Amino acid sequence: MTDTHTPKIVILDGYTLNPGDLSWEALEALGTVAIHNRTPYEQVAERIGDADIVLTNKTRIDAAILEQCPNIRYIGVLATGYDVVDVETAQQRHIIVTNIPTYGTNSVAQMVVAQLLSFCHRVEHHSAAVKEGRWSQAPDWCFWDYPQIELDGKTMGVIGFGRIGHQVGRIASVLGMNVQAFDSNQRDINDVPGFRWVDDVRELFQTSDVISLNCPLTPETAGIINRDNLQLMKPTALLLNCSRGGLVVDDDLADALNAGRIAGAGLDVLSTEPPDADNPLLSAKNILITPHIAWATREARQRLMTMAVENLQAFLDETPQNVVSS
């Protein structure tokens, strides 16, 4: 790529990152930019055309697309996970693929705790009950439909103690919880009082009052929330998943919730997104499901936007960063 070349940039699915509250201006300063809010797979090759720079969030770029679009030199994934790109084929074609590894740590950890506190106090439910007049009609000066839960002294078990898991642990500790974690990459943890590593994930399932999944989806972690491990959990325990939907066997979790084998589950991700209408978790008891929004605070999306521009600028400067294709 010479100095006189003006990069032709195509964004395949920009709406999720920027529904209108951010600016593409910094990206537009790097080349000519075509922005598509969404792109169905059958239109991907056509929209990429002769572009050399492609940005995608969840729109698939597989070997067939790469074959039809020989000008591509760079694919920037607007997310941490990059399984939407055939990285092996991209590598064979000398295409640089990058991701955004760190933008959402605080926002995702915040959602984990929001799900947890929702179970502790059922704030929205009780607020709705007040607005319906139930407090006005109550025979006592207060009422509640669900048990109120204090977290102090309870145990938070975190599966996957990377950046997000670590932040979840820090917040849980501030709430007075004991924190334990299972992770293949153990290291010294100095900012979570009383923290301990658990070497056997079965022990974590057995001894935690709350379990937060913050691990990547790998062959080792796929389906880790299954019938056997759910049976190890306390009947009063809560499960939280703001990581990857494939960590959960949907039928097994739905069965456990409906049978009361665990007290509840808070999920921000599902195995198929958007979910099929017959997903058993949609009708399960004691479950909170949010539509994969833990990452989506404006602050996190702005960081993502900034890092995407920085990644592309680094590539244009021939010093690529956050490369996942090598």
Per-residue pLDDT at 244 exceeds 90: yes
Residue 132 lies in a domain: yes
What is the rounded CA–CA span in Å between residue 250 and residue 271? 8
On whether both 215 and 284 belong to a single domain, the answer is yes
pLDDT in tens, 311-326: 999 999 999 999 999 7
pLDDT band, residue 4 (cuts 50/70/90): low
- Nearest of 201, 204, 195, 198 to residue 177 by alpha carbon: 195
Residue 203 among the catalytic residues: no
Catalytic residue chosen out of the listed positions 122, 126, 166, 244? 244
pLDDT in tens, 26-38: 999 999 999 999 9
Residues 6 or more apart in contact with residue 139 via CB below 8 angstroms: none
Catalytic residue chosen out of the listed positions 88, 150, 273, 299? 273
pLDDT in tens, 146-196: 999 999 999 999 999 999 999 999 999 999 999 999 999 999 999 999 999
On whether both 112 and 63 belong to a single domain, the answer is no
On whether both 203 and 278 belong to a single domain, the answer is yes
Average pLDDT, integer, range 89-104: 96
Question: How many CB atoms are closer than 10 A to CB 158?
Answer: 31
CB 78 within 8 A of CB 103: no
Average pLDDT, integer, range 199-208: 97
On whether both 21 and 110 belong to a single domain, the answer is no
State residue 2's pLDDT score: 44
On whether both 67 and 90 belong to a single domain, the answer is yes
Residue 124 among the catalytic residues: no
**Residue 251: helix, strand or coil by DSSP?**
helix
Task: Report CA-CA distances (Å) from 123 to 8, 129, 144, 146, 233.
Answer: 49, 10, 10, 10, 26
The domain total for the chain is 2
Per-residue pLDDT at 1 exceeds 60: no
State residue 326's pLDDT score: 77
Catalytic residue chosen out of the listed positions 47, 163, 170, 292? 292
Residue 121 among the catalytic residues: no
State residue 3's pLDDT score: 52
Range of the domain at 87: 8-103+298-316
